[in-house]
Amino acid sequence: MSHDDHHHELSFWRKYVFSVDHKVIGIQYGITALCFLLFGFCLMMMMRWQLAYPGKSLPVIGGLLGEAFMPGGVMTPDFYNSLGAMHGTIMVFLGVVPMLVGAFGNYIMPLQIGAPDMSFPRLNMMSYWVYATGGVIMLASFFAPGGAAASGWTSYAPLSVIATQGQTWWLIGMIFLITSSLLGSINFIVTICQLRAKGLTMFRLPFFVWAQFVTSFLLLLAFPPLEAAGVLQLMDRVAGTSFFLPEGLVVSGQQLIHGHVVAGGGSPLLWQHLFWFLAHPEVYVLILPAMGMVAEIIAANTRKPLWGYRALVYSTVFLGFMSFVVWAHHMFITGMGTKLGMFFAATTMIISIPSVVILTALVISLYNGSIRFNVPMLFALAFLPMFGIGGLTGLPLGLPASDIQLHDTYYVIAHFHYVVAPGTIFAIFAGVYHWFPKITGRKMNDALGKIHFVISFIGMNGVFMPMFFVGVAGMLRRGYDPTAYEANANLMYLVRLSSWSAWLLGVGQLPFIFNFVTSIFAGKKVEENPWKATTLEWAAPSPPPHGNFATVPVVYRGPYEYNTHDREDDYFPQHLAAEA
């Protein structure tokens, strides 16, 4: 394989904007996704004001948003619903997935398999720009008449079908985001199959690559049904069909009339089935790459091989497969029938087994390690109990009997946020601190990182732990004003605790933002392998040049050879030949 070093200099546009280099695209994804994560979080911080102090004027920001959204500084119920729907959509589809797959996957995965680039570089560029377009459409929808989509991130019919124009924007935006993910996932699978370095067999792949591999299959096969559902809902809204509008639907006291507004004969359940057929695998898209990153960081910082590497891989593959047959556990109370409920409860209990295997293997990996408590490791260690809490509290939701009580309460919010917020988001932070030296050639500041970690850890738990209690006590998750129900009155101190923690969490991100920006220019310079890790990305220069490796790497051993050989160094990189 020949490396053509570019003798001619690329223009600014080709190099930084419409680049086909997987590393530039990864950085583009990363910056965009971090901005969306911050934006989605800001939406939530505003909602927390309304929840903690219903009907009170929001200081400063309330006055800025104008009379349409916040008359007198108090948000309208419609605006509150928009914020909720857009928070979910932005966090999942524009923040976390692009960050895990688009940014980390794009940047790290080709390096870890010793490839010069992705298999389809131009397709890679296209997926970023399709994603960016989808993001712009989503943001623009705030200015649509009636505001942005307000039917939740799940866009349940029939509410979403009769909603204002923002919902149409949402659907078009989603079609862009889905297309972007599809193109990306094809690229990932082909790259992992075709471009692995010599000697890098499937069972020598770092676990992160396996996680990306399975994730890509989920994106590839689960997203198209949502695209189909999106097209059908678009037809309902634009062409007057009624795929999701049932016979005799009554809206605001008026029945929708045949031949004028609605043809009838549709089923709102159809939307839920199609939506959750995507959205449950999506949950694993949100968690698998995070587990992969945590595994990398744990192995490097315990200085011993991952415990049960093969068990991790088999569990991940099984998890990916099972994630396609559990979707209707989101629908136990829809009246789809007890027989279906039984089936999905059983599959849900089965899918918890590989999740527990993965978590257990990661915890056992810590045993007898000489752990380095650096910033990425702190976040990775915090991931384990946080994901554990999130996972275990999911079990009562997977059984119909207990789900009936808990469904649509704050308990559900607490459960899945423990998986995705202190879980996946912590893994993202861990990844940022861990791979920052590879991407920039500089390290992020340690002290600021530890401050960021402590505040985030307290903040996250402060936000979500009270929600379990609030939820079990019966507070509904989509309520605009908790005080509307008298029973919630004595829960308000917990609601306010959540809100204050959310704002604390917001303050806690300032050291991160400051650290991130200043470290790019003024961070401590480091050599190519500052963590003394074994996987291939650390064999490339920091930052890796166009084409990645100075010499084409050849792989001689498994990914986590720490303290396994009698060598001077306590680690044995994958690309070094055995010494004679």
Partner 1 sequence: MSADVLPYTVKPHPVTGVYSGKLGVWLFLASEVMLFGALFSAYVLTRTGAPAEGPAVWPTGEATHLSWKIGGINTLILIVSSVTMVMAWAKCKMNNLASARKYLIVTFLLAAAFLFLKLTFEYIPKFHHGLVPSKNNFYGLYFTLTGLHALHIIGGMIVIAYFIGPGAKLWEKDPEYYTNRLECTGLYWHFVDLVWIFLFPVLYLM
Which positions lie near partner 1, rule CB under 8 A?
A: 1-4, 20-21, 116-117, 119-123, 182, 185-187, 189-190, 193-195, 220-225, 227-229, 231-232, 235, 239-243, 247, 258-259, 263-267, 270, 273-274, 277, 546-547
Task: Kindly tell me which of 65 and 123 has the beta carbon lying closer to partner 1.
Answer: 123
Amino acid at 564: T
Q: How many CB atoms lie within 10 A of CB 157?
A: 28
Amino acid at 213: F
What HEC string does 513-531 produce? HHHHHHHHHHCEECCCCCC
H-only helix segments in 60-203: 61-64, 66-69, 77-89, 97, 106-112, 121-140, 166-194
> CB-based contacts of 418: which residues, under 8 Å, 6+ apart?
386, 387, 389, 390, 393, 464
Residue 251's H or E segment, with its range, is: strand 250-251
Task: Kindly tell me which of 323 and 501 has the beta carbon lying closer to partner 1.
Answer: 323
DSSP class of residue 578?
P
> CB-based contacts of 218: which residues, under 8 Å, 6+ apart?
281, 282, 284, 285, 288, 320, 323
Amino acid at 116: P
Task: Kindly tell me which of 243 and 436 has the beta carbon lying closer to partner 1.
Answer: 243
> Token pair of 274, please?
């199609």
Task: Kindly tell me which of 232 and 294 has the beta carbon lying closer to partner 1.
Answer: 232
> Token pair of 563, please?
């303290």
Task: Kindly tell me which of 3 and 477 has the beta carbon lying closer to partner 1.
Answer: 3
Taking the C-alpha atoms of residue 268 and residue 188, their distance in angstroms, rounded to an integer, is: 35
Task: Kindly tell me which of 145 and 259 has the beta carbon lying closer to partner 1.
Answer: 259
Distance in Å, CB of 239 to partner 1, minimum = 4
Residue 464's H or E segment, with its range, is: helix 446-472
Distances in whole angstroms, Cα of residue 234 to Cα of each of 159, 171, 242, 283, 377: 13, 7, 10, 24, 45
Distance in Å, CB of 439 to partner 1, minimum = 18
Task: Kindly tell me which of 223 and 457 has the beta carbon lying closer to partner 1.
Answer: 223
> CB-based contacts of 179: which residues, under 8 Å, 6+ apart?
130, 227
Distance in Å, CB of 244 to partner 1, minimum = 10
Distance in Å, CB of 2 to partner 1, minimum = 7
Taking the C-alpha atoms of residue 437 and residue 542, their distance in angstroms, rounded to an integer, is: 7
Taking the C-alpha atoms of residue 562 and residue 274, their distance in angstroms, rounded to an integer, is: 45
Distance in Å, CB of 277 to partner 1, minimum = 7
Q: Could you tell me which of 114, 126, 177 has the C-alpha nearest to residue 20?
A: 126
Distance in Å, CB of 260 to partner 1, minimum = 9
Task: Kindly tell me which of 209 and 406 has the beta carbon lying closer to partner 1.
Answer: 209
Task: Kindly tell me which of 233 and 534 has the beta carbon lying closer to partner 1.
Answer: 233
User: Following DSSP, what letter does each residue of 312-357 receive, concatenated?
Assistant: HHHHHHHHHHHGGG-GGGG-GGGTS-HHHHHHHHHHHHHHHHHHHH
Distance in Å, CB of 193 to partner 1, minimum = 5
Task: Kindly tell me which of 210 and 217 has the beta carbon lying closer to partner 1.
Answer: 217
Distance in Å, CB of 72 to partner 1, minimum = 41
Task: Kindly tell me which of 247 and 408 has the beta carbon lying closer to partner 1.
Answer: 247
Report the C-alpha dihedral over residues 522, 524, 525, 529, rounded to 10 degrees: -140
Distances in whole angstroms, Cα of residue 400 to Cα of each of 186, 344, 349, 578: 36, 9, 12, 56
- How many secondary structure helices (H) and strands (E) does the chain include? 20, 4
Task: Kindly tell me which of 385 and 547 has the beta carbon lying closer to partner 1.
Answer: 547
Task: Kindly tell me which of 182 and 205 has the beta carbon lying closer to partner 1.
Answer: 182
> Token pair of 405, please?
């009580």
Distance in Å, CB of 128 to partner 1, minimum = 16
Distance in Å, CB of 127 to partner 1, minimum = 13
Distance in Å, CB of 6 to partner 1, minimum = 8
Distance in Å, CB of 247 to partner 1, minimum = 6
Distance in Å, CB of 183 to partner 1, minimum = 9
Which residues share a beta bridge with 476?
409
